[in-house]
Structure 1
Amino acid sequence: MTNLAIILILIISTITDLRSRKILNIVTMPAIILALIFHLITTGLDGFLFSGQGFLVGIGLLFIPCMMGGIGAGDVKLLAAVGAWKGTLFVLYTGIYAGIFGGLIALFILIKRKKLVFTVKNMLFSLLFLKSTKGSLEISNDTQNNVSIPYAIPIALGALMTFIMESYL
C-alpha cells in the first residue's frame, strides 16, 4: 500500500512539475495527512511517530535550500510526503540520491548550455569572499538563460533508487 501510494504521488508530481513547474498542494498535503492516518491506524502510536519522523526529516533535508530560494516549497512537501509514507531511513536515502541525480542533471544542463565554467567561477567567488551574488547558482534573471530543473524528477529518481536498494538497507 505505501509503495503504491508513493509511486502514484511521485508520478503525478513529476508530470505536473514538468508541465507547469509546480508540485500541487492538492497532491502533497492529502498524501501527508493520509500517511499519518494510515500509519496511526495500522500500527498505532508507533506508526504515527514513524510517519511523523519521516515527515520531519523530509522537510529538514530541503528546508535550507528552500529558504535560500534554490528549491520550491512544493519540492519540500513532496519529500516530506515520501518521508511520511516510508519513514526516516527511506527519505534520508531518497534525499541523498535525489541530490546526486539533481547535481548530475544540472551538470549536464550547464555543459549543454556552455555555462559550466561561468557557474563554477561564480560559485568559487561566492565561497572565497563569503559574499552572495544574489543566488550564485542563478546565471541571470533572464528565463532563457536561467538554469533550473523540475526537482520532482530527481526526487522520483532518488525514490526509485531507494526502492531498488531497499532490500540492502
Structure 2
Amino acid sequence: MILIYSILVSALLVSLITDLKTRKILNIVTFPAILFGLIFYSITQGWDGFFFSSLGLLAGIATLLIPFILGGMGAGDVKLMGAVGALMGASFTLQSFVSVALLGGLISIALIIQKRGLLQSLKSLYIFPALLMGTKGRILIKPQMESPILFPYGVPIVLGTLLTFVWSVAM
C-alpha cells in the first residue's frame, strides 16, 4: 500500500504545481496514475481488485462530471479525481469529495469577498432573497459586467484529498 500512497501523493503534488503554474492538470500525470491503480489492484486482488479500482475511477469521475459539463471546471480536474478513485477506491473518493467541495466553497467565498469586498458581499446576501419575492420562482439573471472569479480547482482537489488521506491514516 505504500506504493499506492506514494503514487497518489506524487500525482497530487505534481498536479498542484502544474495547475497553479499553467492552469492545467496534465494527462501525463493522471493517466499513468489511473492505469497504475487498475493494474496494481488487478494483479494483487484479481477481479475484486479490478472492480474496486474501476468503481473508484467511476466514482471520482462522477463527482465532477456535471460541473465539467456545465463549464465550471476543466477535464484535468475530473481526471485527477478519477485517478484518486482508481488508486484509493470509491469510498475514499466520495469521502475526499466532501472535503474537496467544502474547501472549494471556502476558497470561492474568500475570493468573492476579496474581489467584491466584504460589505458588498454581505449586501448581496441580504438583498438577494428580497429580490426573489414576487417572482414566483422565476429568476432573471442579468449578465454581469464584472469578470468572473476563477481559480484552479486542482488546489481544493489536492488539499481535500490530502486532508482525507491524513484523516484516514490517523484513524
Band of TM-score, shorter chain: 0.7 to 0.9
Contact 1:36 1:52 in 2 (8 A): yes
C-alpha distance after superposition, 1:56-93 (max 9, x if no partner): 00000000010001111100000000000000111001
Structure whose alpha-carbon radius of gyration is higher: 2
Q: TM-score, normalised on structure 1? A: 0.84
Q: TM-score, normalised on structure 2? A: 0.83
* Cα distance in 2 between the residues matched to 1:80 and 1:131: 36
Identity of aligned residues (%): 41
| Equivalent position of 2:41 in the other structure | 39
| Equivalent position of 1:165 in the other structure | 167
Tell me how far 1:98 sits from its aligned partner: 0.3
* Cα distance in 2 between the residues matched to 1:26 and 1:119: 42
Asked if residue 73 in structure 1 is aligned to residue 66 in structure 2, the reply is: no
Q: Which moved more, 1:73-82 or 1:154-163?
A: 154-163
Matched letter for residue 27 of structure 1: V
| Unaligned runs of at least 5 residues, structure 1 | none
C-alpha distance after superposition, 1:18-61 (max 9, x if no partner): 00100011111111111101110111111110000000000000
Contact 1:93 1:158 in 2 (8 A): no
Matched letter for residue 9 of structure 1: A
Contact 1:66 1:76 in 2 (8 A): yes
* Cα distance change, pair 66–45 in 1 and its aligned pair in 2 (3 A): same
| Equivalent position of 2:138 in the other structure | 129
Q: Which moved more, 1:111-120 or 1:158-167?
A: 111-120
| Equivalent position of 2:100 in the other structure | 98
Q: Which moved more, 1:24-33 or 1:114-123?
A: 114-123
C-alpha distance after superposition, 1:4-28 (max 9, x if no partner): 1110000000000000100011111
C-alpha distance after superposition, 1:85-115 (max 9, x if no partner): 0001110011110000010011111111116
Q: Which moved more, 1:81-90 or 1:152-161?
A: 152-161
* Cα distance in 2 between the residues matched to 1:132 and 1:44: 52
Q: Say how many residue pairs are matched.
A: 160
* SS of residue matched to 1:70: coil
* SS of residue matched to 2:64: helix
* Cα distance change, pair 122–77 in 1 and its aligned pair in 2 (3 A): farther
* Cα distance in 2 between the residues matched to 1:5 and 1:35: 9
* Cα distance change, pair 95–131 in 1 and its aligned pair in 2 (3 A): farther
| Equivalent position of 2:57 in the other structure | 55
C-alpha distance after superposition, 1:89-143 (max 9, x if no partner): 1100111100000100111111111163587678987xx4256668xxxx65x7x
| Unaligned runs of at least 5 residues, structure 2 | none
* Cα distance change, pair 10–114 in 1 and its aligned pair in 2 (3 A): same
Moved over 3 A (4+): 115-125, 130-134
